[in-house]
Amino acid sequence: MTYGIGIVGAGMIAPFHLEAIRGLPNAQAVGIMDHGSGKGHEIAPDLDPTGADDIEAFLARSDIDVVAIATPSGSHLDIAVAAAKAGKHCIVEKPIEITLPRIDAMIAAHAAAGTALGGIFNTRYTKGAQLLKRTVEAGRFGALTFASSVGPWWRDPDYYQSSNWKGTWAMDGGGALMNQGIHSVDLLQWLVGSPVASVSGRIATTAHPYIETEDTSAATLQFESGALGTIACTTSMWPGHFRTLILGGTDGTAVLADEGLLFWQFREETDEDQAIRDELLALPSAGVGASNPAAGVDARGHRAVFADFLGALEAGKTPSINGNEARKAVAIIRAIYESAETGGAPVNLD
b/e per residue, 30-60, with b = 16+ CB within 10 A?
Answer: bbbbbbeeebbeebbeebebebbeebeebbe
Shared-domain flag, residues 115 and 153: no
Shared-domain flag, residues 138 and 115: no
Q: Nearest Cα to 43, choosing from 61, 66, 22? A: 22
Q: What's the pLDDT tens digit per position in 100-120?
A: 999 999 999 999 999 999 999
Shared-domain flag, residues 310 and 286: no
Share of the chain above pLDDT 90, in %: 89
CATH number at residue 56: 3.40.50.720
Q: Say how many CA atoms lie within 13 Å of 169 toward its Cβ.
A: 5
Shared-domain flag, residues 47 and 63: yes
Any domain includes 273: yes
pLDDT at 350: 83
| Bigger pLDDT: 298 vs 233 | 233
Res. 49: pLDDT tops 80 = no
Shared-domain flag, residues 172 and 306: no
The DSSP bridge partners found for residue 197 are none
Shared-domain flag, residues 153 and 284: yes
Pick the last residue of a domain from 261, 280, 295: 295
Any domain includes 339: no
Res. 162: pLDDT tops 70 = yes
Number of structural domains (the chain) is 2
Shared-domain flag, residues 24 and 151: no
Shared-domain flag, residues 205 and 108: no
- With both helix axes pointing from N to C terminus, report the angle between 127-137 and 273-280 in degrees, rounded to the nearest 10: 160
Q: Which residues are CB-neighbours of 229 under 8 A, at least 6 positions away?
A: 146, 147, 148, 149, 188, 192, 196, 220, 221, 222, 223
Shared-domain flag, residues 105 and 221: no
pLDDT at 272: 96
CA 35 to chain centre: 24
pLDDT at 35: 86
Q: What's the pLDDT tens digit per position in 279-336?
A: 999 887 666 678 777 665 689 999 999 999 999 999 999 999 999 999 999 999 999 9
Res. 207: pLDDT tops 60 = yes
CA 336 to chain centre: 17
Any domain includes 333: no
Shared-domain flag, residues 34 and 80: yes
Shared-domain flag, residues 149 and 211: yes
Shared-domain flag, residues 146 and 209: yes
Q: What's the pLDDT tens digit per position in 52-106?
A: 678 999 999 999 999 999 999 999 999 999 999 999 999 999 999 999 999 999 9
Any domain includes 69: yes
Any domain includes 278: yes
pLDDT at 298: 81
Coil vs helix vs strand at 22 = helix
Any domain includes 330: no
Any domain includes 338: no
pLDDT at 293: 78
SS3 content of the chain, % helix, strand, coil (to 5): 35, 25, 40
CATH number at residue 157: 3.30.360.10
Domain that holds residue 50: 3-119+299-320
Any domain includes 250: yes
**pLDDT class for 38, splitting at 50, 70, 90?**
confident
